[in-house]
């Protein structure tokens, strides 16, 4: 299962909400569609219009979901007594900010 996040530009002359669907305070600058899988495998599908700040937050949410997936896969492989040193090195390098918190 792969989570996804797509951003699109939009025609401001068409029917567009006046505020971001996420923060409900700033003007939207992008249209988005997101499908992020949670721990139990259920997908959270969202779409709408968002401001630039909320777009950054959506990317962070996707990054967190990917970090969790890599961590879960590492745990499964480790439980099977497989060498996970390369995967761990890649995960720590890719997610330095998340992994240190």
Per-residue pLDDT of the chain (101 residues; tens, 9 = 90+): 689 999 999 998 888 899 999 999 999 999 999 998 877 778 889 999 999 999 999 999 999 888 888 888 888 998 998 888 888 888 888 887 665 44
Phi–psi pair at 9, nearest 5 degrees: -80, 170
Nearest to 7 by CA among 44, 45, 59, 53: 59
Q: What are phi and psi of 31, to 5 degrees?
A: -105, 145
Range of the domain at 51: 4-99
Q: Which pTM was predicted? A: 0.79
Domain count, the chain: 1
């Amino acid at each position: 299962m792969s989570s996804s996040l797509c951003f699109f530009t939009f025609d401001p002359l068409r029917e567009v909400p006046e505020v971001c669907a996420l923060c409900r305070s700033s003007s939207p600058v992008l249209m988005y569609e997101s499908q992020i899988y949670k721990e139990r495998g259920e997908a959270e599908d969202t779409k709408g219009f968002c401001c630039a700040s909320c777009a950054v937050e959506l990317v962070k949410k996707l990054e967190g979901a990917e970090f969790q997936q890599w961590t879960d896969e590492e745990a499964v492989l480790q439980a099977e007594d497989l060498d996970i040193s390369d995967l761990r090195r890649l995960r720590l390098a890719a997610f330095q900010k998340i992994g240190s918190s």
